[in-house]
Amino acid sequence: MLRILAAILCLLLSTNLSAIAAERPNIVFIMADDLGSGDLGCYNPDSKIPTPSMDKLASEGMRFTDAHSGSAVCTPTRYGVLTGRYAWRTKLKSGVLWGYSPALIDTNRMTVASMLKEQGYHTGAVGKWHLGLGSDKKTDYTKPLHPAPPDYGFDFFFGIPASLDMQPYVYVLNDRAVEHPTKMVKASGHRRRGGGGFWRGGPVAPGFKHIDVLPVIARQAAGFINKHAHDSPKQPLFLYVPLSAPHTPWLPTDEFRGKSKAGYYGDFTVQVDWTIGQIMATLKANKMVDNTLLLVTSDNGSHWPVGDIKKYNHAANLHYRGQKADIWEGGHRVPFIARWPGRIQPGSVSEQTICLTDLLATAAAVIGSDLPPDAGEDSYSILPALLGKKLAGPIREATVHHSLNGTFAIRQGKWKLVLGRGSGGFTKPRVIKPKPGEPKGQLYDLESDPSEAENVYQDHPEIVERLTKLLNHYKKSGHSTQRKDS
């Protein structure tokens, strides 16, 4: 009798686990490069850029109004997305990597891809890597590249090493260059002249053309989904798509020229929206929509200074102060849209403060897995918000912001403390030395002053002290989540 009961129990347990595995959704994470919230019609009715694909996605899912990148620039945000850890905890204290930089992520560190692969997912990445490749001081693209995306849990990778304006200009397939960069290309244009076609001069593969990159990413992403649906339809999929655009060079192909009222940047953003639409259409064609958590966001705010705002009457970063690279909201507040039919309420809006470092903990929660103590140190699960659960308070205790030059800010509730007086990024003056009697930092009440126009640093010394103490704790402890070892 005991053997029979044990057999029945094992059968029930096996059946239950199979059912859970069958319910595990595909996860597709698309991250544009330098896309501002104000570019999307679903965020900005006055946008001069049509974004029908992302607007449709928002109508079918949830739009977050208080989402933030882990940094105001490329590389550190990407590190945070994949590892759930702020990049300022690494050797990269500020700035970004370049095309010849060695790999930033430790191969022993859990990533979203490695975690999901261990749980039976088929994993892929298509687009702009920008986390360094190889282990040498200067990456040699004539040799196999290690560490590379396959060393971080990706079964497949196709993309470019860094930003599209950074040498070398090559495509990388898994762990090696498709073509070696044996030729040279001259520097081209300016971000506001010559079609926005700015890039630095340097080595280039013979068959590489800058204008082809975004269409190639669209085809490769669709191809990965199609192949997965044909070869492994019962296996869950994770696809990470870090787009190369609308970062410079602004190179919309002919069919997108003139489709916006915001110049070459706007036209290129229209093409970004079309690219996202192609991925959405591919999921639909393979009948994968209903079991896919699709997330669309940006790695930081738009590089859109005041001159562009005035010229085109277009607020790429909405009413927020600053732009990409800055510590102000325009540098790191990003669009974030999520769709998961049957789980996420269509047309819903969340005001929860979230960060792109939250992907790891969220993906783990979605599949019912626990993270080990040494992973996702700055990652919170936003699954309760996605599912529309009534929450007693904020998901995140606080969120740390970081600028191009390493300026820190910490946000908790309505309060945002900036440890410095300048923007820390592209908006000049970058550093402002305080005059006698003036505050050394910045404190904003984002509830009453979302545009960060009034610095109330001197009016609330108790808030300054509390947030400074919390930020220092996050720095010293090595984590900002409530961890088992704390």
Residues 316 and 444 in one domain: no
Residue 1 within any structural domain of the chain: no
Residues 371 and 437 in one domain: no
- Which of 114-125 are b and which e, b meaning 16 or more Cβ less than 10 Å from the residue's Cβ? bbbbebebbbbb
Residues 219 and 308 in one domain: yes
CB 264 within 8 A of CB 195: yes
Residues 292 and 426 in one domain: no
CB 237 within 8 A of CB 222: no
Contacts (Cβ under 8 Å, ≥6 apart) of 142: 177, 180
194, pLDDT greater than 80: no
Distance CA 289, CA 92 (A): 38
Residues 332 and 440 in one domain: no
CB 292 within 8 A of CB 300: no
From 353, 386, 419, the end of a domain falls on: 386
Q: What angle do CA 427, 429, 435 make, to 5 degrees?
A: 140
Residue 58 within any structural domain of the chain: yes
Check residue 20 and give its pLDDT: 40
From 328, 358, 386, the end of a domain falls on: 386
Residue 338's CATH number: 3.40.720.10
Q: What is the pLDDT of residues 38-53, one digit of tens each?
A: 999 999 999 999 999 9
For the residues 169-179, what does the mean pLDDT come to? 98
Residues 315 and 432 in one domain: no
Contacts (Cβ under 8 Å, ≥6 apart) of 416: 329, 401, 409, 410, 443, 444, 446, 452
Residue 452 within any structural domain of the chain: yes
Residue 17 within any structural domain of the chain: no
pLDDT band at 243 (very low <50, low <70, confident <90, very high): very high
| DSSP structural state of residue 280 | H
Q: What is the pLDDT of residues 310-339, one digit of tens each?
A: 999 999 999 999 999 999 999 999 999 999
Residue 450's CATH number: 3.30.1120.10
Residue 156 within any structural domain of the chain: yes
Distance CA 425, CA 300 (A): 12
Residue 15 within any structural domain of the chain: no
pLDDT band at 191 (very low <50, low <70, confident <90, very high): low
Q: What is the pLDDT of residues 106-118, one digit of tens each?
A: 999 999 999 999 9
Distance CA 398, CA 231 (A): 43
How many domains does one find in the chain? 2
Percentages helix, strand, coil for the chain (3-state, rounded to 5) are 35, 15, 50
Q: What is the pLDDT of residues 113-132, one digit of tens each?
A: 999 999 999 999 999 999 99
Considering the chain, what is the average pLDDT of its residues?
93
For the residues 350-368, what does the mean pLDDT come to? 98
274, pLDDT greater than 50: yes
For the residues 71-93, what does the mean pLDDT come to? 98
Distance CA 27, CA 74 (A): 22
Residues 425 and 375 in one domain: no
| Inter-CA distances, 201 with 22, 166, 182, Å | 49, 8, 13
Residues 192 and 298 in one domain: yes
Which structural domain range is residue 422 located in?
399-477
16-24's contacts with Cβ under 8 Å and 24+ in sequence apart are 20/368, 21/120, 21/236, 22/234, 24/119, 24/120, 24/121, 24/236, 24/366, 24/367
Residues 323 and 358 in one domain: yes
From 364, 386, 408, the end of a domain falls on: 386
Check residue 486 and give its pLDDT: 39
52-55's contacts with Cβ under 8 Å and 24+ in sequence apart are 52/273, 52/277, 53/273, 53/274, 53/276, 53/277, 53/280, 54/273, 54/276, 54/296, 54/335, 54/337
Is the C-alpha dihedral spanning 433, 438, 443, 446 positive or negative?
Answer: negative
Check residue 15 and give its pLDDT: 39
Residues 256 and 319 in one domain: yes
Residues 303 and 328 in one domain: yes
Residue 178 burial (CB < 10 Å; 0-12/13-18/19+)? middle
Residues linked to residue 399 through DSSP beta bridges, in sequence order: 411
Give residue for tokens 């103490």. 469
Q: Does the predicted model carry a pTM greater than 0.85?
A: yes
Check residue 192 and give its pLDDT: 54
pLDDT band at 482 (very low <50, low <70, confident <90, very high): confident
Residue 439 within any structural domain of the chain: yes
Distance CA 73, CA 101 (A): 16
Residues 375 and 406 in one domain: no
Contacts (Cβ under 8 Å, ≥6 apart) of 188: 194, 197, 198, 199, 201, 249
Joined tokens for residue 217:
């990413």
Joined tokens for residue 92:
């990269």
Residue 14 within any structural domain of the chain: no
230-236's contacts with Cβ under 8 Å and 24+ in sequence apart are 232/122, 234/22, 235/120, 235/121, 235/122, 236/21, 236/24, 236/25, 236/26, 236/27, 236/116, 236/120, 236/121, 236/122
